[in-house]
Amino acid sequence: MRQTSSQLRLTPCQEHALDTLQRQGNVFLTGAAGTGKSFLLDHYLQGKSSEDFPIVASTGAAAVIVGGRTFHSFFGLGIMEGGLEATVTRAMRSKKLMRRLQRACCVVIDEVSMLSGMTLRAAETIARVARGNPDPWGGLRIIAVGDFAQLPPITPGSVDKDWAFLHSVWQESDFTPALLTTVMRTQDTSFLEILNFVRDGIVNDRVREFLDERTKESRGDEEGTRLYPHRAQADQYNLLRLEQIEEPVHAFPTEYVGDGKYVEAAKRVLPIPDTLLLKRGALIMMRKNDASGEYRYVNGTLGHIRSFSEDALHVRLLSGEEIDVVKEKFSSLDGDGNEVVAAWNFPVTLAWATTIHKAQGASLDRMIVDLHQLWEPGQAYVALSRVRSGAGLRIERWSASSIRAERLVTSFYDSLSNQATKYQPKPFFEPAIAPEEEESKTKKHAFSQKERLKRTRELLADGAGLSLIAEACGVTQSTVLNYIEKLVGLGDAPSLTYLIEDFPEVDAIRSLYEEHGFQFMKPVFEALQGRVSYDQLKLVRIVLTSNA
């Protein structure tokens, strides 16, 4: 079950994205780790039928987490044996497939980044034929959700990744970007700056210093979740730590209901083990969001087992709160959305270790990670962005070669940032842009980050506003703020006072920062009741601290 959205207020960028979702046309909902893509999607889908608005996911594991079905089963792709034409021909024989594609109003594709361009094309072709409509996807609305900087496409037998955004089907789909920029997982702005560097594959002095400060020799008894690149490493470490607890072990077998062939497939993707082994004092991770609606925990929350019975676990969360956890159902669905497997067990796993991949979507309180010899671009970013703050992070070892970004992805998001600007309301500190200037914002800017940083410094010295700097560098204003913050950190920023001279409520913002601390934006945002966006608060903070 996905988290309730009724308990939390939307950020300004989420409000802009929700407005985009509520319009017509295809949408690409994206953003960095922790920006609340799933949370916003829950908000949008409240009250909507799963038959009219089915959720499909790129993998079985993702499908279980979002309560949906797999992309391949929904569109009848199978394993795509024989290629595109053979796949479409086989799919056309299924009357059930035809009916569900004709019935659906909008399909939500979760973790779209893991789908290859060819896979997306096969599904689009099937939808077009099934609905008897020559328009892309046969007129079926598509909401694609994901972050290409985190999870690459699965491209068996191919040396080059078949990125969906490079395929003609992506351009034909004409996605309107809904870009989330405010990270909710952490309010640690220094850590967030490091994450932005790592996301771009940059290893500079700031990154080296940050990682070196948190690299310590392992004692083997640290409390927190270790992230490993391989499952065997994680399983072995969990069992080792469990054995070290001098308490009786209790086994809780997962109970399955469903056809045998479906059960075996479900076991490979469920976030819970076939048999859950627990002891009093064991460190555990919640693998579902709180189903009670009280938002006591989320997927990734850590705690210790205090006691248990056959029907309940008594857990003390690292926050200090004590809760009772009961067994819950995990479902595996077929293409029509029918439950083919129901699996019952406590929604927890041992948490001394997990894999980087299985931590996807989790928000960890404390984390120990090995960043040595990672092989996939974006893998280091996915790992580091799981933890809530830099204070909860410890690194066993790291190598600069592990921090890599896919250049094609970086270029895609630079272009996307320009495109997204057209669809979002202008904040009051951005002056209106003439139509001819607006058109130029969508053009590709082939500057390196170093060149954009230098250009930002020059324009600031000339007294340029954020809008002009963003247009000149071909990036969003949020990215410009990051550049300015970097310049301040390097001691290379010119006078910035002019940027907030006409800024409303600047005195109130200064007072709130002095009260709560300049590192915390959330209490300032809440005190102002959302009247000032996080980007605006960040601008004021940068200027005030640069003058300190």
User: Residue 471: what residue type?
Assistant: E
Give the residue among 171, 180, 175, 120 at the shortest CA–CA distance from 147: 180
**Pseudo-torsion of CA 149, 155, 161, 165, nearest 10°?**
-60
User: Which residues are CB-neighbours of 32 under 8 A, at least 6 positions away?
Assistant: 147, 149, 180, 181, 183, 195, 196, 199, 385
User: Which residues are CB-neighbours of 214 under 8 A, at least 6 positions away?
Assistant: 390, 393, 394, 395
* Separation between Cα atoms, residue 168 and residue 29, nearest integer Å: 19
* Separation between Cα atoms, residue 248 and residue 97, nearest integer Å: 50
Q: pLDDT tens digits, the chain, 548 residues: what are they? A: 333 444 457 888 888 899 999 988 999 999 888 788 888 888 898 888 888 999 998 877 766 766 778 898 899 888 788 888 888 888 888 898 999 899 999 999 998 998 999 999 999 999 999 999 999 999 999 999 999 988 778 766 556 788 999 999 999 999 999 988 888 777 777 888 888 899 888 899 999 999 999 998 766 667 788 888 788 888 899 999 999 999 999 999 999 988 877 888 788 778 888 999 999 999 998 888 776 666 678 777 889 999 988 888 999 998 888 999 888 888 888 777 778 888 899 999 999 998 877 776 677 888 898 888 787 888 889 889 888 888 889 998 899 999 988 888 888 888 877 665 544 433 322 322 333 333 333 333 445 667 888 888 888 988 888 888 888 887 777 778 878 877 887 778 888 988 888 787 888 888 888 877 775 666 787 788 777 877 788 888 888 888 75
- Look at the domain 12-180 and name its fold: Rossmann fold (3.40.50)
State the number of CA atoms in the 13 A half-sphere of 301 facing the CB.
22
* Separation between Cα atoms, residue 519 and residue 184, nearest integer Å: 14
Assess contact for 153 and 111: CB atoms under 8 A. Answer: no
Burial 4-19 (b: 16+ CB within 10 A, else e): bbeeeebbbbbbbbbe
User: Which residues are CB-neighbours of 533 under 8 A, at least 6 positions away?
Assistant: 11, 12, 13, 427
* Separation between Cα atoms, residue 61 and residue 78, nearest integer Å: 17
The domain segmentation of the chain, as residue ranges, is 12-180, 187-229+356-408, 247-351, 409-546
* Sign of torsion over alpha carbons 407, 410, 414, 416: positive
Cα first-last separation, the chain: 47
Domain 409-546 = CATH 3.40.190.290: no
Tokens of 417: 């940032």
